[in-house]
Amino acid sequence: MIPLRRGVQILTTALRYRLDTIPQALQIDHWTRYLFPTSLLPTPQISEAKRCRLAIERLGPVFIKFGQLLSTRRDLLPEEYADELARLQDRVPPFPSAMAISTIETEIGRPLTDSFATFSEQPLASASLAQVHEATLTSGEEVVVKVIRPGIAGVIKKDLALILALAKLLERFFSDARRLHLIRVVEDYEKTILAELDLLRESANTVRLQRNFETSPLLYVPKVYDDLSSVNVLVMERVKGVPISDLETLRRRGTDLKKLAERGVETFFVQVFNDNFFHADMHPGNIFVDVSDPANPSYIAIDCAIIGQLTKEDQAYLARNIVAFFNEDYAEIAKLHTESGWISAKTDAREFESTIRQLCQPFFQRPLAEISFGSFLIALFSAARRFDMEVQPQLVLLQKTLLNIEGLGRQLYPDLNLWATAKPFMEKWMREHYGPGAILKTVVDQGPGLIELLPRIPELLITGSRQLPELGRLAVEQKQAMENLTSALLSERRRRRRARVAGAVLVVAGLGLLWESFMEVIAIGGDNMTATAGIAATLVGSVLVGRG
C-alpha cells in the first residue's frame, strides 16, 4: 500500500510541474504524450530546468541525492539544468530552527546555552537529510552543528519501498534487470542512505579518515567533538575554505587548478587502494579547497556519512584491470573478466577482447575534456548484453564516486589527462602488492606456518590423491541431483500453469452460468440448478487459480 500511495504522489508531482515537457525540451523521444493527455494541462511559466529541480526537492531525499549526482555531470546535461540541480547540494529549503534547537537540547540533555556561547538560528547550509548551523562553544572554538531533519527516516523508507517494489517487478520481467542485480543494488543503497541518518557512524568515519590523512598534504578532515555528538546531532570544527564549485574565487586567488585536479585524482586512488576507506559522497557541496597557499592547494572534506570499502579480491581485480587498461592489454582484461566470473566461461575470449578494444581505444591518450565516463559506461553495459556480463553491486558505490570525481575534474581543469595522472600511482601500487618484494614479504610473514607444514606435505599429497576420485564421484552425483531437481521444478511449474488455465476457464464458465441464471429469473423465473452449477464452477475455478 505504501509504494502505491507514494507512486501516486510521484505521478502527481510530475504532472504538477509538467515534467512531461522536459524530454521534448531536451530533444529526447517524447513518449509521455502516448500515456497521458498532458497537453491539456496548463504549463507553468518557469523554465523546465527549474521545474525539474523543484519537483526533485518536493519528492524528498532519495530523489535529491540523485539530482546531486546529476549536477556534477555537465557533459551529459545542458548548463541550465546543471546549474539548477547544483542548488540541491546545500540549498534545499531548511526546516524551522526551533526544531533544530529542540533536537540538540534533547540529544545533549541540557539547555543550548550550557554548551554554546553563540548559535546562529539561520542555517549555514541545508541539505536533503540534515542542515548545518554555525556556533561557538563556551570554550571559544568555532564549530558547526549538523542536525538530522525530523521525521526524514519515514520518508526515506517509503521511497525505498517503492524503488524496491519497482526493482522486483523489473527483475521479474526483464533479463537486463536481473543482469544488473537491481534488487541487490537497491538493498545496498538502502543500507547506505539509512547509514547517513546515524551521525555517530559519520563521526567514527570522520575520525578514521582524519587519521588516514593526518600527515598528508592532500586532504584535511575537521575535528569532531564526540562529547556533543549523538545519533541526530554532530558537532565539528568550523573550517573555512572555498567551495570547490566556486571557480571564480579559486581563479581570483591564483589557485593552481591543474595541481588541484591532479591531487584530487591522487586523493581518490589513495583512499581506494592504500587505505581501502574512501569518501563516497564527493559532490561539490561536501568538498572545499584550502587556498592559504594557492600554489599548493589542498582539499577539505566534510560529510563522511557514506564510506566505501572493497574486499582484497575486488581491490586486486580493479587494480589489475586498471593497469591493463593503461597498457591497452585487452587480452588481459578479457581474461580477468572470465576469471572473476563477471562473464561466462563459455564466452569467446577473442570476441570479447575485440569488443573491449573497440570501446576503450578511443579513450586513451586524450584529455579529460574529451572523455565521458558516463558515455563509456553506457556503451560498456550495452556491449555487455551480448556476453551476459553482470554488474557487481558491491562496486556501484565506487562507480558513483568515480562519476563524482569526473564531474569535479571537468570543472577544475578540463585538460587534465586522467590516465597520465593515475597510471604511475597504480603501477607503483601493483609493484608494492604483487611484485617480488611483496611476494618475499608474504613468504617471510608466513614462514613459521610454512615450516610447520613442510613435514606434512607428503601425507597431504597422498591423502589428496586418494580423495580426488571420491570428489569426482560426488560432483557427478550432485550434478545429477541438480538436473533432477530442475526437471521436477519445471514439471511443477507446468502443472501449476495448467491448473491456472483450467481454473480461469471454470471461473469464466461459472460467471456465464450465473449470468444466464440471473437473466432467466428476471425473464421467466427459473430454477436454481443453473445458478448452483455456476457457483460451483466459479468456486472450483477460484481454488485452482489460487493454488496454481
Q: At 46, phi and psi to the nearest 5?
A: -85, 165
Q: At 235, phi and psi to the nearest 5?
A: -110, 125
Active site residue ranges = 281
DSSP codes joined into one string, 250-277: HHHTT--HHHHHHHHHHHHHIIIIIIS-
Tell me the CA distances in angstroms from 15 to 19, 21, 23, 309, 469, one per residue in order: 6, 10, 14, 40, 67
- Which contacts qualify for 4-7: CB closer than 8 Å, 24 or more apart? 5/158, 6/158, 6/159, 6/161, 6/162, 7/162
Tell me the CA distances in angstroms from 529 to 117, 385, 519, one per residue in order: 88, 58, 14
d(CA 233, CA 498): 59
- Nearest CA to 149 out of 111, 99, 195 is that of 99
Beta bridge partners of residue 125, listed in sequence order = 132
Per 3-state DSSP, what percentage of the chain is helix, strand, and coil (rounded to 5)? 65, 10, 25
Beta bridge partners of residue 289, listed in sequence order = 242, 299
- Please answer whether residues 534 and 542 qualify as being in contact, where contact means their C-beta atoms are separated by less than 8 angstroms: no
Centroid of chain to Cα 463:
47
